[in-house]
Amino acid sequence: MSEKTNALKQEFLLSLADVKTQEELEEIRVKYLGKKGLVTELLKDMRSLTPEEKKTFGQEVNVLKEEVSEKIAAAREEIKQAEIERELALMPEFDVSMPADLRRGSYHPITLVQRQCEEIFKSMGFAVEDFREVVTDYECFEALNIPKDHPARDMQDTYYLDNGQLLKSHTSAAQNAIYKKYKDALVNEGKPIKAIFPGRCFRNEATDACHENTFFQMEGVMVDKNISISNLIFFMKTMLSEVFRKDIKVRLRPGFFPFVEPGFELDISCLICGGEGCASCKHSGWLELCPCGMIHPEVLRAGGIDPEEYTGFAFGLGLTRLAMMKYGVKDIRDLNSGSLKVLSQFTDDK
Ligand code: FA5
């Protein structure tokens, strides 16, 4: 091997020894084997050689080229291997002999009770509807006969967005959209409107054992010709007896909501204290569970339904409170706590 070829080979081997990354290696490949690389440049020296010398020198350069290529390929593999090992060293060690943790998640009690109510109402011909959490002032209040500055708004302070929309304070906010969706089928095909719409509600209020600022309700409406309070009572009774499957004490008393006339409060005797009075029922022995009433004519009219021809009932079931009562949860705040100690106790069959 000529002195020049040998010197180039030694220089290449030295620089290869320092290479740590694929990028550095690529630089070296271009430096030696690229179109204008040092190995290729060697061939320029051939011009001044005799044909015999050219042959020997040409072979020598080809051998060097091959050697350089092989060493670069080997270095590429080594660097790749080293990278894999570095990554493996950073990974936590797995003990494959360790027993698996077979604990499963469980449904949230509110989901369980919501699904149960959905099944009950579906079996009675109600459609299950979904609705947004962000609603307009019109949907949440005005369409429900609660104009601006009406005192009933004080009971439902909520969280407002910069654009004037708000987080719905009750599921009644979907009523107007439901009437508009189903009114044509009611008028043209004589199909009664029967729908429930569960959803998350928000209120800007202090929390205690039976009040949360984020809770679930399930609204229900039925509109047809000749719907009366007795229809309302039938559906409320059926729902409660199916959910609890035992005798529970309820009471119906007058209640005021601008969107129903007449309106009622449906209370349930507190199942935590058996009606004696405790923190869960604000020491009254009763828990407000499902206000209801006959839909106000103005509300039907806003939904495009003629109140002279049709009547209907509406109810707003407190789903979170229902879950409290059904599962014996003393403090409503536990349901939003995300604590697995609390939540893992509930399963479908309880
Ligand atoms: C309403 O929200 C009416 N929209 C219900 C209604 C619908 C009446 C249709 C008539 C016809 P109220 O604010 O009372 O009403 O709430 C209804 C139920 O939701 C309560 O009885 C209670 O069970 C539940 N609830 C209300 N506020 C809270 C709260 N802060 N935390 C937990 N549950 C609540």
Can you give the pLDDT at residue 47? 79
Average pLDDT over residues 74-88: 92
pLDDT tens profile 87-123: 888 888 777 787 877 777 788 999 999 999 999 999 9
What pLDDT does residue 274 have?
A: 94
The pTM (predicted TM-score) of the whole model is 0.73
Query: Which atom, in ligand 1's list, is nearest to the CA of 291?
Result: 8
Residues 97, 99: Cα–Cα separation, whole Å: 6
* Within a domain: 96: no
Shared domain check, 151 and 234 = yes
Structural domain includes residue 186: yes
Q: What pLDDT, on the 0 to 100 scale, is given for residue 1? A: 66
Give CA separation, 121 vs 40, 125, 185, 239, 244, in Å. Answer: 84, 7, 20, 8, 15
Is position 267 within any domain? yes
Mean pLDDT (whole number) for 249-264: 96
Is 102 contained in some domain?
Answer: no
Residues 67, 173 within the same domain: no
239 & 298 share domain: yes
Residue 143 and residue 25 share a domain: no
Please tell me whether residues 115 and 84 are part of one structural domain.
no
Do 184 and 333 belong together in one domain?
A: yes
Assess if residue 349 is contained within a domain: no
If asked whether residues 268 and 321 sit together in one domain, one would say yes
Is residue 74 one of the residues assigned to a domain? yes
Measuring from atom 28 of ligand 1, which residue has the nearest CA?
211
134 plus 168 within the same structural domain: yes
Q: Which of 90, 120, 136 is the last residue of a domain?
A: 90
Q: What is the CATH number of the domain that holds 213?
A: 3.30.930.10
pLDDT at residue 349 is higher than 70:
no
37 plus 142 within the same structural domain? no
Domain check: are 85 and 127 in the same one? no
> Which residues have C-beta atoms less than 6 Å from ligand 1?
170, 172, 203, 205, 211-212, 215, 217, 219, 257, 260, 263, 288-289, 291-293, 314-316, 318, 320-321, 332
Within a domain: 25:
yes
**Biggest CA pair distance of the chain:** 118
Quick check: 173 pLDDT over 50? yes
In a domain, 73, yes or no: yes
| Number of compact structural domains in the chain | 2
Q: 318 CA to middle of ligand 1, Å?
A: 6
Listed residues 90, 122, 141: the one ending a domain: 90
Name the residue range of residue 207's domain.
Answer: 109-343
Distance (Å) from CA 116 to ligand 1 centroid: 19
Q: How far is the CA of 316 from the centre of ligand 1 (A)?
A: 6
- The percent of residues above 90 in pLDDT, for the chain, comes to 77
- Ligand 1 centroid–CA 124 distance in Å is 23
pLDDT score of 347 more than 70 = no
Q: Are residues 76 and 155 in the same domain?
A: no
Are 196 and 243 members of one domain? yes
| Average pLDDT of the residues of the chain | 93
**What pLDDT, in 10s, does the model give residues 187-229?**
999 999 999 999 999 999 999 999 999 999 999 999 999 999 9
Span 57-66, pLDDT tens digits: 888 889 999 9
